Structure formats: C-alpha cells, structure tokens
Amino acid sequence: MTIGIRFAARSDVGLLREGNEDSAYAGTRLLAVADGMGGHVGGEIASAAAIETLKPLDVDVPANEIVGVLEQAVHRANETLHNIVEGDPSLQGMGTTLTAMLWNGRQLALVHIGDSRAYLLRNGELFQITHDHTLVQSLVDEGRISLDEAASHPQRSLLLRALDGRGEVDPDVSLREAQLGDRYLLCSDGLCSVVTAETIHHALSAAVEPEQAVRQLIDLANRGGGPDNITCVVADVVELESLPGPPLKPIVAGAAHNATRTRGEADHPGAAPGGAMAGESPAHRAAALRGEPQQQSAVTVADMQAVPPQADDALQLTPLKPRRRWPWLVGVAMVLVVLVAGGSYVAWSSVQGQYYVASDNGQVVIFQGMNDKVLGQKLSHLKERSDLKVEDLTPSAQSSVRKTIDNLSSLGNARRTITNLRGMICRTSVADDGKGVVAVWKGRDQQQEGCTNKVIQPSQPEVRTNTLTTESKKAVRKGITVADLPHAQDKVDQLREEAAKCKSHPTSLQGCPPAPGNH
C-alpha cells in the first residue's frame, strides 16, 4: 500500500483588501502557506519569494532528510528576502509568515514561523499543530491575558517571529507521522482570525473532498467580513492505488501565482484542483487571486491554544529549543519612543507609513501609524474621519472595524477600505410596513447579511400607501433606498405632501387614486 496526499489550495483577496499578499503552494510532496506583510507590494514580493524558494522541494526527498532539507530552504528564503531588500531599500520592513510541510510516505516535516497555522483533523477531532509567534500568544502562554482578551487585543497582529531577511531566522521544525484518513489544513490568519475553531472543525468534517473544504472555509471567512486575505490548503492522507485517474500538477495560488504568470508560466484554469502524492503529475494551477509545533489537543473555542502532552504519533527529531523572547525586545527597540525636551517622537520611520481603519465615537475613521503603544506612548493619531457610522454597517463589518482593520500600507488603501465598507451597510429605506402604512426600515430584505430587517420609524402622521400615486405606490412597495434616517424622513414628508394633494385635488397629479364616490 502506497500512502500519499490528495490536495486542494485557494487564495482569496477577501472583502476589504485591495490586493492579495498571501501565497500558497500544494504539490505531491510539498504544502505551504505564506502571509506577506510590509505594504501591498512588499507583502506580495515576500510571500511569493518564500514560496518560490520552497517549490523545488516538491520532489522525492529521502525520509531521513526531509526535516533538514526543509529547514535549509527556510534559511535560503530568508537570505533571498535580505538580498531583495538590499537591492531595493524601499522594501525595507517587508516580511512573511511561513507554514509548510514536506512529505515522504507517512512521514512529514513541519516548519512554521509567524501566525499562519496548521491543523490536523484525525478521528473526528481537530488539533492545532502549530503555535502562533505573536505577542498576544506569548501573553496567553504566560497567563497574563485570556483567549477572549487576546481576540480583541490591540497588539494581536504584532509578530515575534517572521521571515524578514534582517537576521538569523528561528522557525519551529518537527517530524510527524501521518495516518490514513488524516486531513490537514494550512491557512493564513485571514481564516483563523475570523472563523471559529468549531466552525473550521465542522467545515473540515463535512466536506467530502479537499476542494469542497477549501471553498467552504474561504466562503465562511468572507461571510465573517473578509477583513484580510484568506488562503487555505487542505490535504487528505489516502491510498494512492484507490485514486481514480492520473495524479495532478501542483497548485500555486495568491501572489506567487501572479509572479509565475508574470514570468510567462502557463496557467491551467480548467484543470481539476486536487492532486495525489506520487512522482510527477499532469495539469492544474489554481487561478484564484485573490513556537514550537504545538502538542496535540482537541480544539475548542474555550481552550484552542492549550498545549497538553503530545501524542506518540508526533515524532521529535531533536529536543525543541525554548522559545526566544528577544525578538519582541528587538521589535520594541525598533518602535521605541524617545522622550526629548518634554516632547516625544518615534524612532522607527516606518510607523508613520502605516494606516488602519477603526471606530471612534461611533464613526468609521482612519488612523495613521501603528495600533499600538510603547512605554505608554501611542504610535498613531487620527488622520481622517468619515461620515460612515459603525452602527449602519452589517454585523460582520461592524466586528471588523471595532477590532480594527490593520496593516494598510497607504492613505489611499485606507480610503479604499472605507469605500468597500460603504457597500457593507444595513440600508435605510422607505417602504410599506406590511399593513398598508409607509414606514422607515433598516436592513430590509438583508437578513442573509445579518441585518435586523425591521421598521425603525413609522410615519407620523400616518401616510397610507394606497393614498399615493400609482408610481409612488409601486416604489414604496418595492422599497426606496435612502442614505440615512434624515433623508428617509424627508422622503416620508414628500410622500405625505403627495397624498395630501391627491386627496384635495385628485387630478393635480398623474396617477392619484380616485376620490371617494368617483369609482
């Protein structure tokens, strides 16, 4: 019996980002997800470069070499980023997460750095098998904050480790043993920061094929507001002899997919999206563009990050080094607030090149800088205030704004994010209340988007729909969308005046209902 993997991979830009900084690769031996950072262009370059460096590993590497070979490739990827920044200093500050698996039969090497994740579905239970390298995760590990507090912590996007080419890279590396029937998920935080562990568990359990699972997970993240790029790779451990048809070529998705097309590689949008772990295989390329290995425990919302003893199937090649704390100190030094003559200034020039969208006094606003504090000093200031109210947004969009939409690389990107949010509102409309009376509605016919679909203000004095002109009656029954409540009130006043004219002078307006007694 020959053991291999059947896989699928997709990457989606989400609902609020302008471009896709995620990259992914899925092949017969190699699975990888990278989430770029450092601005739209820098993030795309960083994640694509990491995937490009790992792609040559998608060959038959001896089982006793897969860990070393994968770790060496990560170091080469880090050197590649260093060389890119040396050649173009404007890309200073770019970097990427990386979570990857290199397979040989039942054995797989797992490498991880950053806050992308790997999950294992085995015998109906879901396990998170990577550990986030974030400041908030370190605070959770130390018992200083709870998981609920971590979910809304202002520093939740601050990484302690990433591939950035600035120095030696320190990934988590381990050797694991797969079992027939296992299902693995690699994903960027655009999925796991939006979709709960239970929902991921259900989606992975319910989907028959990896492609179904990938599509469902991305759809769930977008239904949750899609605040970030979303990338998923799903692989099933199978008997190769039981698979129908020939094996398929690797899938490249996201920014890495764009990079290969730029170099003239062919795309195969019509090919099937899965594959099996065998030698060389025929055609598919996805057209979607947008701590240590965690010891196993069943994932729940309450204790998703818990780290109980590791099961026997997770083999350690060498004892794990204790997780380093110094990268956070280096990060603090980079953004250290230096007090001078009673004032202050930030010694990290790239801070003011960042923007984020958040809520302030109930309005959607743009901040310039980082959503963070160092030594009690804020690293951001209010840049622009929009006229968009948070309460007018759909529930998922409200959640995204209240948590803040971070890492926007320019003021233009931040403004475009607000433009995108304008398309995610629970609309105000003037319509019939179902009882023949004109009323003001909120979220009418938008239940699927989470809106309340209710009358927020009846017409006072009452305006009855059947007293309006034929054209107005038709419009009211369909619903007249307006900008906000004041505009809705103005529209109701106009309809009230129309009804009064029709009553006093039925022939003064075209389509007025006939006067009583003139039927």
User: pLDDT means per 10 residues in the chain (519 residues)?
Assistant: 91 93 97 88 93 97 96 96 92 93 96 97 96 90 86 80 89 95 97 95 97 97 94 95 75 88 38 34 28 35 32 31 35 40 36 84 92 70 91 91 86 90 93 96 90 92 95 96 92 96 92 77
How do the domains of the chain map onto residue ranges? 3-259, 353-423, 428-504
Task: Count CB neighbours of 247 within 10 A.
Answer: 18
Q: How far apart are CA 226 and CA 207, in angstroms?
A: 21
Q: Are 47 and 34 in contact (CB under 8 A)?
A: yes
Strands (E) located in 284-427:
337-340, 343-346, 355-360, 363-374, 377-389, 405-408
Q: Answer yes or no: pTM beyond 0.75.
A: no
| β pairing state of 343-346 and 405-408 | unpaired
| Residue 402, token pair as written in the block | 């209240």
Q: Are 54 and 40 in contact (CB under 8 A)?
A: no
- Structure confidence at residue 207 (pLDDT): 97
- Whether the link from the prior residue into 62 is cis, omega within 30° of 0, is no
The tally of CA atoms less than 13 A away on the side-chain side of residue 29 is 20
Please, which residues have CB within 8 angstroms of residue 424's CB and are 6 or more apart in sequence? 15, 225, 393, 394, 396, 397, 449
- Structure confidence at residue 377 (pLDDT): 63
Secondary structure letter of residue 298 according to DSSP: B
Say whether 411 sits in a helix, a strand or coil. helix
CA distances from residue 209 to 77, 117, 214 in whole angstroms, order as listed: 32, 20, 9
| β pairing state of 183-187 and 172-177 | unpaired
Which of 7, 15, 14, 12 is closest to 23 using CA atoms? 12
Task: Count CB neighbours of 461 within 10 A.
Answer: 5
Please, which residues have CB within 8 angstroms of residue 105's CB and are 6 or more apart in sequence? 2, 3, 63
**Radius of gyration, alpha carbons of the chain:** 27
Angle between helices 40-54 and 66-87 (to 10 degrees): 140
- Structure confidence at residue 456 (pLDDT): 93
Say whether 6 sits in a helix, a strand or coil. strand
| β pairing state of 3-12 and 230-239 | antiparallel
Task: Count CB neighbours of 195 within 10 A.
Answer: 22
99 forms bridges with which residues in the sheet? 33, 112
Q: Are 429 and 480 in contact (CB under 8 A)?
A: yes
Report the CATH fold assignment for 3-259.
Phosphatase 2c; domain 1 (3.60.40)
Q: How far apart are CA 125 and CA 299, in angstroms?
A: 8
236 forms bridges with which residues in the sheet? 6, 183
- Structure confidence at residue 148 (pLDDT): 83
**Main-chain dihedrals φ then ψ at residue 105, nearest 5 degrees:** 60, -125
- Structure confidence at residue 41 (pLDDT): 78
Residues constituting the chain: 519
- Structure confidence at residue 519 (pLDDT): 52
Q: How far apart are CA 34 and CA 36, in angstroms?
A: 6
Torsional sign, CA 371, 374, 379, 382? positive
